[in-house]
Homo-oligomer: A and B are copies of this chain.
């Protein structure tokens, strides 16, 4: 039995990505599926963090993962071993996913019955931040070796995310990375940003991140219930 499929997503034919994203969010709401768009530089630790998160969140939630890459399927293979439902998306050279590409991926994942789907976007701090994927939550990873000056250089991604994970804190002693500075720089871009330091390698901090995500999902579900009551 194959553990996962690889599908090629095609560049959107929709002129208005924002409208397509809103439409997708409405569809997800109706189905009760919470979609997280996870972004970072290449090699910041998205896939390793996901395996840790699935370990914890998988106790209460049915989880699906869409792994987007320009090429290769190493990440889908890693996620498949956690037992989560997973699909590998190839972007055909594209540096980001838009809402319609995300929709194409979801259709192939067949997410009915899942509580949470995590989209691992293409490793890139620039372009993915420019396109609303239709996700309910944008989350990013900044890893310690990348340096604490990144909010100064790549403003938009810090602005569009609700959560920022500072990953690889296990190697803090070997890098000139200042946690206070990065907090200050990131909050300059986005005062509402939740910042969670973790080591996906050792697991440190991941339970706190899982709790935060569970709260976000709960709040999203309740806001829907309230809206239905008002209808």
A122 and chain B: residue at smallest CB distance: B126
Instruction: Point out the residue from B41, B71, B95, B127 that lies within 8 Å of A123, measured CB to CB.
Output: B41
Jot down 17 A-B pairs with beta carbons below 8 A, ordered by A: A41-B146, A42-B146, A42-B150, A42-B153, A42-B154, A43-B145, A43-B147, A70-B126, A70-B153, A70-B156, A71-B155, A74-B149, A95-B127, A124-B126, A127-B127, A171-B171, A171-B175
- A72:B145 contact, CB within 8 angstroms: no
A123-160 interface mask toward B, CB cutoff 8 Å, 1 = contact, 0 = none? 11111001000000000000101110110111110000
A145→B167 CA distance, assembly (Å): 11
Chain A contact residue count (CB 8 A cutoff): 34
Judged by a CB distance under 8 angstroms, whether A20 is at the interface is no
Cβ of A72 to closest chain B Cβ, rounded Å: 4
Cβ of A93 to closest chain B Cβ, rounded Å: 7
Cβ of A25 to closest chain B Cβ, rounded Å: 24
